[in-house]
Structure 1
Amino acid sequence: MAVLAVAGVGSPVFANQQYEPMADHVRLALRTALSAPAAPRPIFDSVGHRIDWMAEMSRRLARRVPDFTERTELIKIIRYEAQRVGIDPQIIFALIEVESNFRADAVSHAGAIGLMQVMPFWTDVLSRGSSRELFEPRVNIRYGCLILRHYLDIEKGNLDRALGRYNGSLGKMTYPNLVYDRLDRNWGYSYVEPPKPAPRVAGDF
């Protein structure tokens, strides 16, 4: 039997999502979003942007996820699942580092599971599936991104408070600041398209 990594040992920063009753229409919307099929690939502004971003994220993640194929698939999943709910993928990279340090088998003392440390009650609320599915990276990241989007909607776009809800520490800035620190240190990214060559003028040699 595999030994599972334990996330968030003994720190108040690593609290967990708290169950909150929700209206039927909210639950239905979340279930619908959860069951939507995955897109074949994430969205980029250009081929150059895709090549640059994928290479850069792969370089940054290589120490934590050494296998190239596994790493590439994980990077694509993070970008797609973040984009489909309107969240900056770089925020999700930072959140995953804080929550599990990219360990898909991580389990907290409170029972939160996987890369984004999703609490098992969410599978009861949204899918009636087994919480074991939260160990699968694509499933876990879909849940995690959808949960954070739900909290952003509750908090009218306030990321500080949404992150606080995600961590179960609403109103405190310890956890949001930790995510922002990892974002600034390890996951910030911007891309500028290289200038296009000037058109050649007749007579140029």
Structure 2
Amino acid sequence: MTVPAPDLKLSTVSSQISRRKCLQSIVLGCGPLLFSEQASAGAQIEEPLMDSVRTALSSAVANRAPLVPEFKDTESWLVYLRWLGTMSDRLKKKKPEWQIRKEFLQTVWYESKRAGLDVTLVLGLIQVESNFRKFAVSNVGARGYMQVMPFWTRVIGDGDPSKLFHMQTNLRFGCVILRHYLDRERGDLFMGLGRYNGSRGKAAYPDAVLGASKHWEFAG
């Protein structure tokens, strides 16, 4: 068994435009909020994408590989089980039901590894973006666990923003977008996180995510 490798095509294509500046457009307007449970996240900025990058991102989102973590050996599998148990204990107050908690953590693990991201970073980002609320909506319309802006479903998805409240879809979009932004910033975590939040160059958001990530560190 093998751990899913990062989407090399996405990383390679995205890095090809890391030196190019993209003109920023205004954030896509959103209609009235349908949920009272708002999040305090910022707003990803809609930017023009090269056709090759758009295709790579769309492919990364559309691939429906089975949501089952795979491991190269028994020891890796045991490490995962220890991680799952540790994270489950830490997340219990946010998600009291074991099965829901397990499915969420398994999906975060899978989508993070698939995108070549540190799962600790992704959990920290989710904490800051939505505080682990599946139906969180920001004041600019960003949705779900990773507070994905609806315009992304038009740019690289099927155009249905309601799907951003589906757990795996939201985590898939969020991880693919974060990977894209990190590639754009040549791996610079500070700038990549800022771009994800729509606050590129400002310290508040990256500092908050990195601070939250410490709670989800796992020694193995």
TM-score range, shorter chain: 0.7 to 0.9
Amino acid at match of 1:159: L
- Counterpart of 1:117 in structure 2 is 147
- Deviation digits for residues 116-163 of structure 1, max 9, x if unmatched? 000000000011331000001110000000000000110011111110
Q: Provide closer, same or farther for how the CA distance between residues 47 and 15 of structure 1 changes in structure 2, counting only shifts above 3 A.
A: closer
Q: CA deviation at 1:39?
A: 3.2
For residues 70 and 131 of structure 2, the distance between their equivalents in structure 1, rounded to whole angstroms, comes to 25
Code of the aligned partner of 2:182 = L
Identity %: 43
Q: CA deviation at 1:48?
A: 2.1
**3-state SS in 1 of match to 2:126:** helix
| Matching of residue 79 in structure 1 with residue 109 in structure 2 | yes
Gaps of at least 5 residues in structure 2 are: 1-33
1:4–1:105 Cα contact (<8 Å) kept: no
The structural deviation recorded for 1:3 is: 4.2
Match of 1:46, SS? helix
Aligned counterpart, 1:188: 217
Amino acid corresponding to residue 62 of structure 2 in structure 1: S
1:5-44 → structure 2 map (5 Å cutoff): 5-8=37-40, 14-44=41-71
Equivalent position of 1:68 in the other structure = 98
Shift of 1:175: 0.3
Measure the CA separation in 2 of the matches of 1:155 and 1:47.
33
User: Any idea what SS the aligned residue of 2:199 has?
Assistant: coil
Superposition TM-score, scaled by structure 1 size: 0.86
Q: Equivalent residue of 1:17, what SS?
A: coil
Three-state SS of the structure 1 residue aligned to 2:66 is coil
> Residues 15-50 of structure 1, C-alpha deviation per residue, up to 9 Å, x if partnerless?
210000010000000001111123342245523212
Alpha-carbon distance change, 161 to 22 in structure 1, aligned in 2, over 3 angstroms: same
Amino acid at match of 1:5: E
- Does the 8 A contact of 1:79 with 1:89 survive in 2? yes
Q: Distance in 1 between the 2:207 and 2:110 partners?
A: 25
Is the 2:67–2:107 contact (alpha carbons within 8 Å) kept by the matching residues of 1?
no
- Following the alignment from structure 1 to structure 2, what is the Cα–Cα distance between the partners of residues 143 and 74? 15
Does the CA-based 8 Å contact 2:146-2:170 persist in structure 1? yes
Distance 1:76 1:22 in 2: 31
Task: Calculate the aligned-residue CA RMSD, in Å.
Answer: 1.3
Between structure 1 and structure 2, the one with the greater Rg is: 1
Q: Is the 8 A contact 1:90 1:188 kept in 2?
A: yes
**Deviation at residue 188 of structure 1 after TM alignment:** 1.0
Q: Is the 8 A contact 1:39 1:80 kept in 2?
A: no
Q: CA contact under 8 A between 1:107 and 1:117: conserved in structure 2? A: yes
1:177 alignment partner in structure 2 = 207
Return the match for 1:152 from 155, 171, 182.
Answer: 182
**Residues 77/65 of structure 1: CA separation in 2 closer, same or farther (3 Å cut):** same
